[in-house]
């Protein structure tokens, strides 16, 4: 029986600890959830699958093709004709096409040009574009663009992932700010309550006038009001933070009451986001610049294709013909040869398309140049902003220490009867304002670091 009581006491103790424990959700751990499990992160990763699917689609233009065509006509018990044509085509890179075919036709009203041996006729041939389509054609252009689009999609994935991490990090630093404000108001409510109780005792002993209890009570009520307002902000911040906490199987998490942010976020955030080393950055590796350069390459492919349309269409095809039973007995005289030629006289449409393509290339080059310089200037400005906030935080931290010393000195004077409750409250209000300013400046510093991270766009 005694053992059961001991186990019961241990269980109750563990239950009380579970209700009062405090666990830290570090910023790096939080980022781990966002990068691996958030739905928008998974959506961004689909960009890679999309690029691979488009590449497979473009490669499909070079797939061998099997074709068959059969036509038959029966009328008044007469077989007018039956025509069969089967072929196997292999497209190659330089617009050349290899074709093997088999034809078998019969009928009393068969067109003379379709008359074939009884066993049918086989053919093996090749078609070569001498003008348009030899060095570049639609098939080749689509495959080249699909390969380049893989880099575009990878850059867009990085930009999307950066945006998700940026917004998630904003929710974390907002949670950190509201949490610190709640802790600050809790501390000063506790101080105000202790001071109020002390004033009541001094009034009972006749050492202080009754009016002091009203002033001390006002301070307590003000601190309670501030605490309640900050708690409301903290609840909202937690709900926003919960939007970015998901399990791997897609279940959303909630931030429990005993979860708290890390203490030294201003020291760890830049390291966690990998922006602590400002010098280790190349503008050419920026996802936006990579995407623009890749799109410029795509425009160059389209320009080459437009320039190719200025050439005449001249397709030459040759097919060796043979009966199936005599295919190994090569006869030079058994063949089918053809030439297709066309050429617009003025080329107005073709020249206009080429000119428009070149204009797009020039526009894209200007855009790349502008974006590079804009990003360089923006990053430089954000670096200066971060360094400025560091200096401001150092100054406000020194002020907080000084205001705290002034408050302690005023409290000692009050205990010796040489000060008043009004002066203590005034000193304390100044200290609270300074500490709130310190929290706000730290938040601004963290926000500036996030802005730099978003601009640099390096989510890996």
Residue 2 lies in a domain: no
Span 133-151, pLDDT tens digits = 888 889 999 999 999 999 9
What's the token pair of residue 52?
């691979």
Same domain, residue pair 340 and 194: no
Span 365-418, pLDDT tens digits = 999 999 999 999 999 999 999 999 999 999 999 999 999 999 999 888 887 878
Span 313-333, pLDDT tens digits = 999 999 988 888 765 666 778
Same domain, residue pair 222 and 282: yes
Poorest-pLDDT segment among 58-62, 171-175, 180-184, 370-374: 58-62
Instruction: Report residue 114's pLDDT band, with 50, 70 and 90 as the boundaries.
Output: confident
pLDDT value of position 276: 75
pLDDT value of position 391: 95
Same domain, residue pair 179 and 245: yes
The residue ranking higher by pLDDT, 432 or 195, is: 432
pLDDT value of position 126: 94
Backbone angles phi, psi at 352, to 5 degrees: -65, -40
pLDDT value of position 21: 52
Same domain, residue pair 329 and 222: no
Span 284-321, pLDDT tens digits = 889 999 999 999 999 999 999 999 999 999 999 999 88
Instruction: Report residue 201's pLDDT band, with 50, 70 and 90 as the boundaries.
Output: confident
Same domain, residue pair 293 and 390: yes
What's the whole-number mean pLDDT along residues 345-355?
A: 93
pLDDT value of position 264: 86
Arithmetic mean of pLDDT over the chain: 87
pLDDT value of position 3: 38
- Measured CA to CA, the distance from residue 289 to residue 364 in angstroms comes to 11
pLDDT value of position 312: 92
Buried b / exposed e across 366-377, counting CB within 10 Å, b at 16+?
eebeebbeebee
Same domain, residue pair 77 and 209: no
Instruction: Report residue 283's pLDDT band, with 50, 70 and 90 as the boundaries.
Output: confident
What's the domain count of the chain? 2
What's the whole-number mean pLDDT along residues 197-219?
A: 81
Indicate if the pLDDT at residue 49 is higher than 70: yes
Indicate if the pLDDT at residue 446 is higher than 80: yes
pLDDT value of position 223: 92
Indicate if the pLDDT at residue 364 is higher than 90: yes
Instruction: Report residue 97's pLDDT band, with 50, 70 and 90 as the boundaries.
Output: very high
The residue ranking higher by pLDDT, 126 or 6, is: 126
CATH code where residue 357 lies = 1.20.1600.10
Residue 377 lies in a domain: yes
Of 1-10, 18-27, 48-57, 357-366, the range with the highest mean pLDDT is 357-366
pLDDT value of position 238: 94
pLDDT value of position 411: 85
What's the whole-number mean pLDDT along residues 227-244?
A: 94
Same domain, residue pair 220 and 336: no
Q: Which residues have a Cβ under 8 Å from the Cβ of 428 and sit 6 or more positions away?
A: 188, 191, 219, 407
Instruction: Report residue 100's pLDDT band, with 50, 70 and 90 as the boundaries.
Output: very high
Indicate if the pLDDT at residue 358 is higher than 90: yes
pLDDT value of position 281: 74
pLDDT value of position 15: 35
Q: Report the percentage of the chain scoring pLDDT > 70.
A: 93
Residue 228 lies in a domain: yes
Same domain, residue pair 229 and 207: yes
Residue 308 lies in a domain: no
What's the token pair of residue 246?
């998901």
Indicate if the pLDDT at residue 59 is higher than 70: yes
Instruction: Report residue 20's pLDDT band, with 50, 70 and 90 as the boundaries.
Output: very low
Backbone angles phi, psi at 252, to 5 degrees: -75, 145
Residue 115 lies in a domain: yes
pLDDT value of position 410: 87
The residue ranking higher by pLDDT, 20 or 88, is: 88
Same domain, residue pair 260 and 378: yes
Poorest-pLDDT segment among 33-37, 77-81, 303-307: 77-81
Which domain range does residue 335 map to?
64-134+316-347
Residue 204 lies in a domain: yes
Same domain, residue pair 98 and 173: no
Same domain, residue pair 91 and 156: no
Residue 435 lies in a domain: yes
What's the whole-number mean pLDDT along residues 159-177?
A: 94
Same domain, residue pair 365 and 217: yes
Residue 19 lies in a domain: no
- Measured CA to CA, the distance from residue 79 to residue 105 in angstroms comes to 11
């Amino acid at each position: 029986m005694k053992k059961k009581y001991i186990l019961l006491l241990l269980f109750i103790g563990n239950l009380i600890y579970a209700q009062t424990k405090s666990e830290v959700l570090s910023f790096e751990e939080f980022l781990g959830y966002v990068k691996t499990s958030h739905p928008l992160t998974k959506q961004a990763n689909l960009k890679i699958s999309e690029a691979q699917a488009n590449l497979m689609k473009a490669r499909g233009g070079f797939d061998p093709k099997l074709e068959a065509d059969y036509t038959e006509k029966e009328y008044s018990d007469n077989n007018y004709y039956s025509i069969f044509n089967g072929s196997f085509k292999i497209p190659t890179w330089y617009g050349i096409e290899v074709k093997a075919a088999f034809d078998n036709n019969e009928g009393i009203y068969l067109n003379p040009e379709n008359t074939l041996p009884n066993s049918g006729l086989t053919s093996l041939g090749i078609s070569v574009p001498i003008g348009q389509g030899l060095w570049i054609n639609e098939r080749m252009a689509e495959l080249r663009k699909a390969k380049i689009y893989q880099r575009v999609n990878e850059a867009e994935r990085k930009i999307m992932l950066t945006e998700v991490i940026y917004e998630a990090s904003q929710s974390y630093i907002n949670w950190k700010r509201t949490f610190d404000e709640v802790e600050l108001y809790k501390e000063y409510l506790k101080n105000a309550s202790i001071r109020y109780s002390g004033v009541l005792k001094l009034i009972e002993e006749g050492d202080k006038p009754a009016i002091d209890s009203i002033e001390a009570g006002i301070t307590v009520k003000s601190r309670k009001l501030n605490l309640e307002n900050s708690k409301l902000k903290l609840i909202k911040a937690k709900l926003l933070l919960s939007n970015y906490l998901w399990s791997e199987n897609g279940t959303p998490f909630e931030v429990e009451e005993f979860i708290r942010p890390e203490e030294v976020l201003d020291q760890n955030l830049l390291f966690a986001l990998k922006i602590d080393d400002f010098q280790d950055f190349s503008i050419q590796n920026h996802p936006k610049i990579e995407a623009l350069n890749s799109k410029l390459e795509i425009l160059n492919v389209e320009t080459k294709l437009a320039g190719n349309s200025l050439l005449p269409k001249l397709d030459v095809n040759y097919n060796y013909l043979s009966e199936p039973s005599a295919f190994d007995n090569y006869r030079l005289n058994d063949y089918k040869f053809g030439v297709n030629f066309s050429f617009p006289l003025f080329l107005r449409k073709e020249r206009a398309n080429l000119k428009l393509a070149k204009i797009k290339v020039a526009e894209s080059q200007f855009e790349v140049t502008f974006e590079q310089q804009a990003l360089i200037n923006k990053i430089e400005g954000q670096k200066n902003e971060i360094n400025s906030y560091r200096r401001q935080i150092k100054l406000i931290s020194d002020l907080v220490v000084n205001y705290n010393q002034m408050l302690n000195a005023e409290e000692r004077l009050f205990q010796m009867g040489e000060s008043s409750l009004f002066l203590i409250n005034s000193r304390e209000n100044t200290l609270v304002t300074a500490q709130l300013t310190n929290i706000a400046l730290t938040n601004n510093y963290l926000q500036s670091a996030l802005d730099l991270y978003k601009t640099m766009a390096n989510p890996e």
